[in-house]
Structure 1
Amino acid sequence: MNRKPKVLIHGTGFAGQGHAEAFRSAGSEIVGIVGRTAHVVSDVAKKMNIPNVGTDWQEALRACQPDIVSIATPGGAHYEPIKQAIEFGCHVFCDKPMTESAETAVGLYDLAKEMGVKTAYAASFRYTPSVLHAKQLVADGAIGEPVEIECISHFNLERDIPFGWSHRKEDGGGRLNNNFTHTLSIAMAVVGEKILNVMGEVRDDLGRAPIVDGVHNFATRRNFIPEDLTDPSLEWGESNVEWSYTVMAQLESPFAQKPVSVLFKHGGLVPRFHDDHIVFYGTKGAIFIKGHYGSGQLSLYGADKTWKDLPLPAEIADTVPDVKGDTEQCWHYLAREFVRDISGETVEPYPTFKQGSQYQQIIEIIRSNGNWTDVSRLA
């Protein structure tokens, strides 16, 4: 491609605006943006200097003739816009979750292959600097053969965040769709991209949330928590999706003879005592990264039996986009790789709809809670 790729954005909130900035940074032209509310999308387009504005996705595809579409709406609203974009011949960059179900995700993956379009799946925290560093260390043999990974996070989210897509399975909500997708991607990026086995348990310990009008941006939803939660006129919505999960998995690794065991433990509504973290254990050492998505300090446990904080190598630092915010930084990284690939450059493998469809299938397996064995009658 000997011109700037043209990108059409679907979504006006935190993700939509973040995707637009990422693709601009990657050398693309943002030709249009679509949202569900006319005045909101007009305001965002004016602020971001985007020329074409609308609420009709199919019309925007015809008017803008994009090379790439970026899907930045909640997961339950992904299927039809992605299907229409693929049929239009567009490459697709999609935030997680890919869709609301395994069936629709697999269908889109198959359609993309049939139409010959490229796809990117933004379970993108695999691109934090410390995760990139951990990947290099494991490949270099710094911890020997990887044997175990531990991903622990507790978010202590406010229980009274207004009712919305994150509370509804059919809209792409739940902590598996919006937390596990990232940590699974991180684990696979560092030790190996093939998932062998998985089992898990989920729990909805929220119950309900207040229904409030006016929430258009996921990043500012906390500002809409009602002051008086005892107001008898307040309406409530019922959650139907998990807010906590425990998952065990086995990954195949080119760096180990045996499958690598992985524990994913997340509590969306409970407080943390120690730091959220990701740890990679090996036969000769271990790597600890502070933070639920591996965005903090990396420490190495080596032959001297002590933990040492390691600086980020210059060759990795040079690849990290110079933008504020871990989420934004990772979007920029993936968008850059995607545009380079579409433009014919050679790039490292990145997450695509193959991974996105696999993740939705795995999430449905975990949500079945089918791993319990009744031992209540044992003597």
Structure 2
Amino acid sequence: MKKVLVYGTGFAGQGHAKAFRDAGAEVVGIVGRTESVVDDVAQKLSIPFSGTNWSLALELCKPDIVSIATPGGAHVSAIKEAIAFGCHVFCDKPLTESGETAIEVYQLAKQKGVKTAFASSFRYMPEILHAKRLIADGAIGEPTEVECISHFNLDRHIPFGWSHRSEAGGGRLNNNFTHLLSIVTSVLGEEILSICGEVRSDMPSAPVVEGVHNFTERRNFIPKDINDPELEWKACDVEWSYTVMAQIGSPLASQPVSVLFKHGGLTPRFHDDHIVFHGSAGSIYIKGHYGDGPLYLFNNGEWQETPLPNDISQSLPDIECDTQRSWTHLAKLFVSDISGLEVESYQSFEDGCRYQLIIDLIRKNDRWVDVSNLLL
């Protein structure tokens, strides 16, 4: 049985621990930054070792696999130490906070010969797998274009934390676009040919509030009096909205597939968030920002809801939570691969590194053409 050490105690850390247990591995330890929090999580999940010293945990637990589940800015040093220790590494998105450090950890893993997994794992959503099958079977003809549209209407007064800081791995590109790019490439093919885009930083600052340890509970800490003169504020330096265009090379299409990614982190939705795949002979519409469904097929001039095939749902873990089910499916692939079993391909640090380099390019935001003086 493979031994796993988890780094991170929040929603992702606890989710990774459950995923690896469901994958048949032994979770031998968990590490966090706050002693009382990591001890509580370890007790709740019956994990034998807990601590705040990552180096010591590697020595004492001697894991085969480490699972990196902290915000992206804390990944680099932990990954480096784990690779030096000879561990295989499962890492949540983003891989790191910058393309430069992503290249560094990718090359280190490659040199050491350890296996890696990159968990932009909503590519395993059931209706995404359904769309992949339909498109491969020719249901929409040759894929021509894709649109991924989402509006999250996040509260502008969410307490200041890692999601507001670029050096901590924050921003919507790191924590939303990564999933969507993974979804699109899982369906069409992994060849990302070209990309351009813009970002908008429309949350200039956020209130500072103590006590937020779990990302999913941060709304509960929004100050009741946002105009309190005693309230401390800190500047944000990441994007909360983005528009990205990409061209994807696909073995299913004779020319590059055009993709639009449009996300408004702070803007309200009017119609449903959705993912649509258009083709020369039809289209597929999937409701939900990550494609949770239902799925509709446009054929013969009308949209028809298309039920999920039973074999697809049966091929995935029987878990209701989309995030947890996706982590668990990837963890099973990773553990099986490390154990010498033949598995389907999954994303690795190579993909995570490529994504981070792409995010850096989008954030440069330097592809605009000035047309204000064309007639002068």
* Superposition TM-score, scaled by structure 1 size: 0.98
Alignment of 1:104-253 (within 5 A): 104-253=101-250
Equivalent residue number for residue 328 of structure 2? 332
Alignment RMSD (CA, Å):
0.6
| Deviation digits for residues 153-193 of structure 1 (CA, Å, limit 9, x no counterpart) | 00000000000000000100000000000000000000010
**4+ residue segments displaced more than 3 Å:** none
Equivalent residue number for residue 347 of structure 2? 351
Tell me the CA shift for residue 324 of structure 1. 2.5
Is 1:20 aligned to residue 32 of structure 2?
A: no
Alignment of 1:261-280 (within 5 A): 261-280=258-277
SS of equivalent to 2:315: coil
| Deviation digits for residues 109-167 of structure 1 (CA, Å, limit 9, x no counterpart) | 11111111110001000000000111111111111110100000000000000000000
Letter in 2 for 1:261: S
Equivalent residue number for residue 75 of structure 2? 78
| Counterpart-to-counterpart distance in 1, 2:239 and 2:310 | 40
SS of equivalent to 1:150: strand
Is 1:87 aligned to residue 84 of structure 2?
A: yes
Is 1:321 aligned to residue 321 of structure 2?
A: no
| Deviation digits for residues 277-304 of structure 1 (CA, Å, limit 9, x no counterpart) | 00000111111100000112111112x2
Equivalent residue number for residue 372 of structure 1? 368
1:44 is aligned, of 20, 41, 44, to 41
Letter in 2 for 1:352: S
Letter in 1 for 2:342: T
Letter in 2 for 1:17: Q
SS of equivalent to 2:343: coil
Tell me the CA shift for residue 94 of structure 1. 0.3
Tell me the CA shift for residue 321 of structure 1. 1.1
| Counterpart-to-counterpart distance in 1, 2:336 and 2:235 | 44
Letter in 1 for 2:214: N
| Counterpart-to-counterpart distance in 2, 1:117 and 1:309 | 43
Letter in 2 for 1:240: D
Tell me the CA shift for residue 319 of structure 1. 1.0
| Counterpart-to-counterpart distance in 2, 1:314 and 1:223 | 38
Give the percent of matched residue pairs that are identical in Structure 1 and Structure 2. 65
| Counterpart-to-counterpart distance in 1, 2:181 and 2:53 | 34
| Counterpart-to-counterpart distance in 1, 2:302 and 2:147 | 19
Equivalent residue number for residue 306 of structure 1? 302
Equivalent residue number for residue 32 of structure 1? 29
SS of equivalent to 1:280: strand
Tell me the CA shift for residue 79 of structure 1. 0.1
SS of equivalent to 2:211: coil
Tell me the CA shift for residue 314 of structure 1. 1.6
| Deviation digits for residues 180-229 of structure 1 (CA, Å, limit 9, x no counterpart) | 00000000000010100000000001111100001000010110000011
Letter in 2 for 1:314: N
Gaps of 5+ in 2: none
Equivalent residue number for residue 62 of structure 1? 59
Letter in 1 for 2:335: V
| Counterpart-to-counterpart distance in 1, 2:270 and 2:108 | 45
Equivalent residue number for residue 2 of structure 2? 5
Length, aligned pairs only: 375
Tell me the CA shift for residue 352 of structure 1. 0.6
Letter in 2 for 1:339: V
| Counterpart-to-counterpart distance in 2, 1:215 and 1:343 | 38
Letter in 2 for 1:234: L
Tell me the CA shift for residue 340 of structure 1. 1.1
SS of equivalent to 1:69: strand
Letter in 2 for 1:369: N
